Amino acid sequence: MSKVLKEYTSEEVAKHNREGDLWIIIDSKVYDVSRFADLHPGGPTVLFAESIAGQDATQAFFGLHRHEVLLKPQFARLQIGKILGEEEVIKAPVPGAISEVPYAEPTWLTEGYHSPYYTDNHRAFHKALRTFMMEVVQPESARCEESGKRISQEVIDKMSEQNVIAMRLGPGKHLGGRSLMGGIVKPEEFDYFHEMIINTELARFGTRGAVDGKTITHLLNGLVISLPPVLNYGSPELQAKVVPEVLSGKKFIALAISEAFAGSDVSGIQTTAVRDGDYWVVTGTKKWITNGTFADYFTTGCRTETGFTVILIPRGEGVSTKPIKTSYSPVAGTAYVVFNKVRVPVANTLGKVGAGMSVILTNFNHERWMVVCTSLAAQRLVVEEWSSQRYVFGKPLHSQAVIRAKLGQMISRVEACQNWVESITHQMNNMTYNEMSSKLAGPIGLMKQFVSRTARETAEDATQIFGGRALTVTGMGKVIENYHRTSGFDAILAGAEDVLGDLGVRQAMKKMPKDARL
Ligand code: HEM
C-alpha cells in the first residue's frame, strides 16, 4: 500500500537548508537527505550548495544520476512528501510500455508506423513478453549484476512456466503441446518473428556482460547452441531424458567444441574419444565454454578414429570445470573444461561416428541470426541513451552539430541493421531447412559481419558523446561503458566477423552464373 504523502510548499522546504536539517526537491518530490548526506556517493558538500539545499534540484539531479536511482528502495524511502499542487513529470517505466524516445523502438512498435511482417499476434506476444521480462526477469537480472551470481532457480522456473526456454530454440516440434506465454501464441503459429522478439527483449535490459542483458541471454545461449544437436541427432531415449530436463530449466547444457589448441578449428581438436565396449573414454580439455561452470551436460566435439564425432557428456566422474575470467559477466559461466578419462555410453553419440561436422553445422545459421538479433537490440538501446544528454555551456549536448552528426550515424546504422534482419527473418519463415542452408548461410554471414561492425562504430560514437561518463561502470554512462566493453564479443561469437564476411562472398561466388560478363 503506498503511503499518503504530506504536501509542502517550496517556502517550507527552503527552511531545511543546512547540515543536519536538509531537504531537497526533485521532480515535485520532497526528500529529507539530512542523514543521507554523509552517505551520499557524490559526497555531502554538493548537497549543501546554496542552489541545492532546500531548493528544487531537479535539473542538477538528472544531470548527474539515472532516474533508476530514485526508484531504488533505499533511496525512495528518503522521500517525505511532495510539493503542493505539483505532480511528477518523469515517470517510472511501466512494465510492457513502449519507449517514446525517437528510434528507441523499431518502427513496427512505433505509433503511426506500419510493417509488412508483424501480425496482431506478434504484438500481443511482444506486450506480454516485455511485461514479464520487466516484472520478473529484469529485477533479478539487476541483482545478479551486483552479486555476480547466476539467476535464481525461481526465476528460471518462471521462465520455463511461460516456455520462454523452449521458445528460444525457435519454431519446431519441441514446442508441441506447450502453452506459450500463457497461450497467447499456439505452438504451430510460433515463427521466427516471435523468436526474434524474444531475442531482442532479452537483450534490452540495458547492459551486457556483467549485467542484465547477457546475464539472462547468456544463461540461455548455452542451451540455444547446444541442445539442437540433441534434438536433431540424439537417440529417442536420450532425447526423452535430456530435452524435458533442459527445457524445464532443471538442468543446463553447454556446447563444448573450442579448445585452447584449436579455437573453433574443428580439425585441430585434441580431445579424444576412444571406444571401450559400449563406452567412449573421453580425454581432453575445452576452453571458452559458455555456461560451462554450471552445465550438467556438454555437447562435446571429439576426435575419434574415423574423424570428428559429437558426444553428449553428462557431468560426472572425470569432468571438472573452472571459471575463466572474461571482460563480461561471470554469470555467463564461461569455463575451462577438463575431461579426464570420462566414460560415456556410446548411446550418447549425436549423429553418426565421424560425421560430427554436419551435426555442428546444422545450427550455425540459427545461432548467427540469434547473435545478430541480440546485438542489434543492444545497439538500439545505446541509441535510446541519447535521450539523457548532459548540459554543456548551458545547452543540451545535442545542440552541437558535431554530436548530431554522430547521432545521425548511430540511428542510420541501427535502422539499416533492423531492416536487414527483418528481411532475413521473413525468408527464414518462408523457407524449408534445406533452402535456408543453401540460400541464407551467405547472407546471414554478411549480415552478422555488418551488425557487429556497426556495433563497434556505434560504441565508439556513443563513447565520444558521453565522454568520461562512458568510462565508468556505474552511473550515467553505464550502458555505454558496458556496450563499449562487450560489443566486440558479437564479432567473435558464432564465427569471427571477417570469416563470416568471407563466407558470404564465397557462397555468392558459387552462385555466380558461368556466363556472367560485363
Ligand atoms: C535523493 C537525492 C539523491 C540521491 C538518492 C543520490 C544518490 C546518488 C548515487 C547513488 C550516486 C552514485 C551514482 C553512481 O555512480 O551510480 C550519486 C552520485 C552523485 N550525486 Fe547524488 N544523490 C542525490 C542527490 C544529489 C543532488 C541533489 C546532487 C546535486 C549536486 C547530487 C550530486 C551527485 C554527484 C556530483 C555525484 C557523483 C556523480 C559522478 O560520479 O558522476 N546528488 N548520488
The verdict on the CB of residue 65 being under 6 Å from ligand 1 is yes
Residue 199's Cα: distance from chain center in Å?
7
Q: Which residue puts its alpha carbon closest to atom 33 of ligand 1?
A: 42
Domain spanning 120-246: CATH superfamily: Acyl-CoA dehydrogenase/oxidase, N-terminal domain (1.10.540.10)
As a whole number of Å, the end-to-end CA separation of the chain is 75
Write out the three cell numbers for 204: 534490452
**Shortest CA distance to 483 belongs to which of 460, 514, 516?**
460
pTM (two decimals): 0.90
Determine whether 125 is exposed, middle or buried from the number of CB atoms within 10 Å of its CB (0-12, 13-18, 19+).
Answer: buried
More confident residue, 364 or 151: 364
| Mean predicted confidence (pLDDT) in 2-6 | 75
Class for the domain spanning 363-510: mainly alpha
In the chain, where the domains are located: 6-83, 120-246, 251-359, 363-510
Looking at the domain that runs over 251-359, which CATH code has it been given? 2.40.110.10
pLDDT tens by residue, 185-238: 999 999 999 999 999 998 876 444 333 334 455 556 677 788 999 999 999 999
Relative to beta strand 335-345, strand 279-289 is: antiparallel
Residue 151 CA to ligand 1 center (angstroms) comes to 29
Among 28, 58, 69, say which to mutate for ligand 1: greatest number of ligand atoms within 8 Å of CB: 69
Reported confidence tier of residue 2, pLDDT bands at 50, 70, 90: low
Residue 60: pLDDT band with limits 50, 70, 90 = very high
Report the SS3 class of residue 150. Answer: coil
**ipTM higher than 0.90?**
yes
22 Cβ inside 6 Å of ligand 1: no
Long-range contacts of 355-361 (CB under 8 A, 24+ apart): 355/307, 355/309, 356/266, 356/301, 356/302, 356/307, 356/308, 356/309, 356/310, 357/266, 357/307, 357/308, 359/229, 359/232, 359/233, 359/310, 360/229, 360/257, 360/266, 360/301, 360/310
**Number of other residues whose CB lies within 10 A of the CB of residue 347:** 12
Does residue 251 have a pLDDT over 60? yes
pLDDT (0 to 100) of residue 212? 30
Q: Tell me: pLDDT of 389 over 90.
A: no
Does 263 have pLDDT greater than 80? no
Measured from the CB, is residue 48 less than 6 Å from ligand 1?
no
With the most atoms of ligand 1 within 8 angstroms of its CB, the residue from 65, 77, 79, 390 to mutate is 65
Using CA atoms, how far apart are residues 397 and 392, in angstroms rounded to an integer?
A: 6
Alpha helices in 251-355 (DSSP H): none
For 482, the grid coordinates are 558496458
Share of the chain above pLDDT 90, in %: 69
How many alpha carbons lie under 13 Å from residue 292 in its C-beta half-sphere?
A: 26
Choose the weakest-confidence range: 32-46, 268-282, 294-308, 469-483.
Answer: 469-483
User: Could you identify the atom of ligand 1 that is nearest to the CA of residue 52?
Assistant: 27
CATH second-level architecture of 6-83? Roll (3.10)
Query: How far, in Å, CA of 380 to CA of 374, rounded?
Result: 10
Q: How far apart (Å, rounded) are the C-alpha atoms in residues 246 and 222?
A: 11
